[in-house]
Amino acid sequence: MIFRRRGGRAEEDAEQDAQTSPAGRAAELRKELAAIVTGANADGGRLPPGAVPTVRDIDDVLRPLLVYVEARSASDEELRYLTMIVRDYLPRALDDFLALPSQYTDRPGITGTTPAEDLVRQLQLLDEGAIELQDSVYSGDAAKLAIQARFLEAKFRRSDLDS
């Protein structure tokens, strides 16, 4: 006889599966991205000029992409890049800058650039990376559509031999 527990573990497993599925992960990433943007807006007075608009640009690319991924899915690699941008690269860049005392943010460091310049450059690179990721996801699905069209054309096109 097999005994199963009611609730408990099975519910936890189902909840964990929802979070680890591409759709569940995309939904979580969307929430985390919204929190990052809200935080950047709130800290706008402490961030250098150009930082908040660039964070918003990143959000403008990633938020619709995450909605798309939630509905249509993405490859593991694409989802991994999305996760790294939202959970690591973007918050780390902002947090590292905000951790500095304000008198150091405009002082050139060992590279000859200021932390403020470094932050804006990092955000610009993240924006470029987000655009490349967006292109990868959408062009991959466009290629699948083209392949399907060729298949259907070959399958259902009338041949000269059919006459």
Q: Give the separation between CA 66 and CA 69, rounded to whole angstroms.
A: 5
Block means of pLDDT (10 residues each) for the chain, 163 residues, are 44 47 88 97 96 98 93 84 96 97 91 95 97 87 72 72 58
- Conformational region of residue 107, where left means phi above 0, alpha means psi within -120 to 50, and beta covers everything else: beta
According to DSSP, residue 158 is labeled P
Kindly report, residue by residue over 50-91, the tens digit of the pLDDT. Answer: 999 999 999 999 999 999 988 887 788 889 999 999 999 999
